[in-house]
């Protein structure tokens, strides 16, 4: 049975030529690895390669033709399973039971919506009549506009505020970190359109 993957979050800025994957086999490795790993996230690249990021850190697959990507739902070849991957996958909810019936918990911070709206203290607003308030392009709430930045880096922006209920759906690669405006639309810095929940 396939497992549900987390979004393939990256801290880099820029375009990516890949599409995120939603599911994966339970265990992955390449021919040169000494153990099976659990996939955390995955992408399909523009040249049709599948690459998984595993819970213990590295990426698996897609790079070496001599060492192809291997996948399985159950480990039957006698190789061990990476304990770091297994514990985090169970703790994050990919599996229902922890070892020996213990309850494991692992909560990735990158999946939690931000405390402050990513449009706060930035030029991501649409001025409203009167000029002292603006509609935040990230969450659609209206808040005051203030001068910020000091005498050497002055700017005008919407005040810091918690995200409204219409906060945009996160980019699968950059989440809520890098919203921008391009051609009058809210986009991620990587170029993906950002839309509000329906």
Tens of pLDDT, residues 93-116: 887 765 555 555 566 667 788 999
pLDDT (tens digit, 9 = 90+) per residue, 30-85? 888 888 999 999 999 888 888 899 999 888 887 656 578 889 988 888 888 888 88
Q: Which residue is listed with tokens 């497992």?
A: 3
The reported pLDDT for the residue numbered 14 is 61
Our measurement of the distance from residue 22's CA atom to the centroid of its chain's CA atoms, rounded to an integer in Å, reads 12
The reported pLDDT for the residue numbered 122 is 86
Strand segments, DSSP code E, in 22-141 are 23-24, 27-30, 39-45, 50-54, 59-60, 69-72, 125-127, 133-136
pLDDT of residue 196 exceeding 70 = yes
Q: Which residue is listed with tokens 């449009």?
A: 119
Q: Residue 185: which pLDDT band, with cuts at 50, 70 and 90?
A: confident
Would you list the domain boundaries of the chain?
3-108, 125-188
Q: Is the pTM of this model over 0.75?
A: no
């Amino acid at each position: 049975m396939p497992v549900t993957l987390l979004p393939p979050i990256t801290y880099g800025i820029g375009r990516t030529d890949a599409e995120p994957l939603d599911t994966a086999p339970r265990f992955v490795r390449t021919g040169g690895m000494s153990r099976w790993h659990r996939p955390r996230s995955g992408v399909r690249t523009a040249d049709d390669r599948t690459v998984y990021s595993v819970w213990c850190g590295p990426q698996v697959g897609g790079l070496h033709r001599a060492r192809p990507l291997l996948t399985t739902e159950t480990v039957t070849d006698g190789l061990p399973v990476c304990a770091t991957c297994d514990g985090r996958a169970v703790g994050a909810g990919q599996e229902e039971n922890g070892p020996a019936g213990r309850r494991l918990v692992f909560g990735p911070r990158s999946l939690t919506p931000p405390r402050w709206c990513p449009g706060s203290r930035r030029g991501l607003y649409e001025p409203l009549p009167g000029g002292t308030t603006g509609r935040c392009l990230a969450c659609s709430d209206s808040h005051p506009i203030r001068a910020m930045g000091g005498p050497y880096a002055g700017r005008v922006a919407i005040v810091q505020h918690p995200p409204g209920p219409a906060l945009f759906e996160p980019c699968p690669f950059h989440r809520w970190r890098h919203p921008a405006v391009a051609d009058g639309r809210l986009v991620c810095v990587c170029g993906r359109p950002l839309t509000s929940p329906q």
